[in-house]
Amino acid sequence: MADTLRLSMRQVQRSFASLGTTPTKYLLIKRLEHARKEIDQIIAGRRVELISTIAFEAGFSDLSYFQRTFRRAFGNTPRDYLSGIAERVHIGVEDSATGRGP
Question: pLDDT tens digits for the chain (102 residues)?
Answer: 778 878 788 888 888 899 898 989 999 999 999 999 999 999 888 988 899 999 999 999 999 999 999 999 999 999 999 988 545 544 444 444 444 444
CA distance 82 to 17: 33
Report the alpha-carbon distance of residue 59 to residue 101 in Å, rounded: 41
CA–CA dist 42, 84 (Å, integer): 13
Q: What is residue 85's predicted lDDT score, i.e. its pLDDT?
A: 59
Whole-angstrom Cα distance, residue 35 to residue 41?
10
- Is this prediction's pTM over 0.85? no
Asked whether the beta carbons of 32 and 70 are under 8 A apart, the reply is: yes
User: Residue 1 has what pLDDT?
Assistant: 74
DSSP annotation of 44 reads T
Measured CA angle at 24 (ends 75, 65), to 5 deg: 45
